[in-house]
């Protein structure tokens, strides 16, 4: 009898409307807390607005393409670093800064717009979203200085490489280009660190800003942050790269002069105009010489932009080895998009669907006079040979 009475009371409580409402409210509260935490985690990984420093004026043209600073030659890179960290830029090697103020710097020649603008506006074809699970995990960990940086080159395939690498669970990267070591250095390292996503123990923080490779001060500044930073450079046939650079600018400013007219100082004599940034960037040996004053070749990995298209898994394998990570990104992550003409991800970060880079990538190049192309190949050949010697790798551009 007592047992039956106990069961009756227990049953009455279990089906009580009050209990049901309390249980429902408890579940809703848990869901609300989860959603709030996820949103906080996601927002914590978003960089604040980038502040562009436009104080680097009065560029002086440098004529010694492969010269070195006297301090470096005398075995005192610390002296050169202190000068580079404090002084305003004085070399044409920061060619990407041309895109900041075309009305101020070489106004007749500055037709390009900064690649970062395209990157900030660029979206994946289907408007990729970050999954709630990824957002939830983003709320933990700490913000750290990047241990690896993709420093170049513009129109070489840096955006594709970064998005491919973000598939790896042990890599966390900033989406937008911080431009810290070339434009925003006065904002300080704390500002820079705050741009970084949170990482857990064992994860690598990365960023990419292609203009670093051609910025004179960048090596000294990165060295001052951490001499152990690993550097990645995506390089591409400099002639094809220059045409791609021009194509991007042409898409934004259709009224610019032809590629042929911009290439030469004098078409009759065939003198190449190295004041044009599209030409300057491709003199890789010149820019690399600057970096080798601070970093050994063992800390710099050169990724072939051509192989990144023809064999993305192979190049990504080299990058993962260089970063000391397990080879998780393999052939199974890629498929070749015939329409775009380059590989795409079967599954991108935070999504279960295939993804390709947006419409700003893979533009059709304009037809360029074959004679101009050959003149450019002749111009770049000695610089390419020097670059092959410096890196110990023949990229097959000639």
**Active site residue ranges:** 155
- The answer to the question of whether 113 is labelled as a binding residue is no
- The answer to the question of whether 364 is labelled as a binding residue is yes
- The answer to the question of whether 392 is labelled as a binding residue is no
Contact criterion met (CB below 8 Å) for 214 and 287: yes
Query: How far is the C-alpha of 210 from the C-alpha of 220, rounded, in Å?
Result: 16
Query: How far is the C-alpha of 252 from the C-alpha of 257, rounded, in Å?
Result: 13
The phi-psi region of residue 360 (left if phi > 0; otherwise alpha if psi is between -120 and 50; otherwise beta) is: alpha
- The answer to the question of whether 358 is labelled as a binding residue is no
- The answer to the question of whether 365 is labelled as a binding residue is yes
Query: How far is the C-alpha of 326 from the C-alpha of 187, rounded, in Å?
Result: 35
Peptide bond into 153 cis (omega under 30): yes
- The answer to the question of whether 157 is labelled as a binding residue is yes
Query: How far is the C-alpha of 185 from the C-alpha of 189, rounded, in Å?
Result: 8
Query: How far is the C-alpha of 357 from the C-alpha of 157, rounded, in Å?
Result: 11
- The answer to the question of whether 244 is labelled as a binding residue is yes
- The answer to the question of whether 144 is labelled as a binding residue is no
**3-state DSSP assignment of residue 344:** strand
Query: How far is the C-alpha of 362 from the C-alpha of 2, rounded, in Å?
Result: 80
- The answer to the question of whether 41 is labelled as a binding residue is no
Structure tokens at 397: 């551009």
- The answer to the question of whether 205 is labelled as a binding residue is no
**3-state DSSP assignment of residue 54:** coil
**3-state DSSP assignment of residue 173:** strand
Query: How far is the C-alpha of 284 from the C-alpha of 270, rounded, in Å?
Result: 21
The CB density around residue 74, as the number of other CB atoms within 10 Å, is: 10
Burial class (CB in 10 A: 0-12, 13-18, 19+), 75: exposed
Query: How far is the C-alpha of 166 from the C-alpha of 172, rounded, in Å?
Result: 6
> Which residue reads 């100082």 in tokens?
265
Residue ranges at the known binding site for 3'-phosphoadenylyl sulfate: 155-159, 236, 244, 361-365
Binding-site positions read 155-159, 236, 244, 361-365
């Amino acid at each position: 009898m007592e047992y039956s009475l106990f069961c009756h009371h227990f049953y009455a409580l279990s089906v009580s409307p009050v209990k049901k409402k309390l249980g429902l409210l408890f579940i809703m509260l848990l869901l609300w807390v989860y959603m709030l935490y996820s949103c906080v985690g996601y927002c914590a990984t978003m960089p604040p607005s980038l502040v562009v420093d436009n104080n680097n004026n009065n560029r002086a043209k440098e004529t010694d393409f492969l010269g070195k600073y006297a301090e470096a030659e005398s075995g005192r890179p610390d002296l050169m670093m202190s000068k580079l960290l404090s002084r305003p830029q004085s070399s044409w090697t920061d060619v990407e800064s041309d895109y900041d103020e075309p009305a101020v710097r070489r106004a007749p020649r500055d037709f390009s717009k900064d690649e970062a603008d395209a990157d900030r506006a660029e979206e994946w074809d289907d408007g990729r979203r970050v999954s709630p699970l990824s957002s939830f995990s983003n709320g933990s960990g700490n913000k750290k200085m990047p241990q690896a940086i993709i420093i170049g080159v513009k129109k070489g395939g840096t955006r594709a490489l970064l998005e491919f690498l973000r598939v790896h669970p042990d890599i966390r990267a900033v989406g937008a280009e911080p431009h810290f070591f070339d434009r925003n250095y006065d904002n300080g390292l704390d500002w820079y660190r705050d741009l970084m996503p949170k990482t857990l123990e064992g994860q690598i923080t990365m960023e990419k800003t292609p203009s670093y490779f051609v910025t004179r001060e960048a090596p000294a500044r990165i060295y001052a942050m951490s001499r152990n930073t690993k550097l990645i450079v995506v390089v591409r046939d400099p002639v094809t790269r220059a045409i791609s650079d021009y194509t991007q600018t042409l898409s934004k400013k259709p009224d610019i002069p032809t590629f042929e007219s911009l290439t030469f100082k004098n078409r009759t004599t065939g003198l190449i105009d190295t004041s044009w940034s599209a030409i300057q960037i491709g003199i890789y040996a010149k820019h690399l010489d600057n970096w080798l004053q601070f970093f050994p070749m063992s800390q710099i990995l050169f990724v072939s932009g051509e192989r990144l298209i023809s064999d993305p898994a192979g190049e990504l394998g080299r990058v993962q080895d260089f970063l000391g990570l397990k080879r998780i990104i393999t052939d199974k992550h890629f498929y070749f998009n015939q329409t775009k003409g380059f590989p795409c991800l079967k599954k991108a970060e935070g999504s279960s669907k295939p993804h390709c880079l947006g419409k700003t990538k893979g533009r059709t190049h304009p037809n360029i006079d074959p004679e101009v192309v050959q003149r450019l190949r002749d111009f770049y050949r000695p610089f390419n040979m020097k670059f092959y010697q410096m890196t110990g790798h023949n990229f097959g551009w000639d």
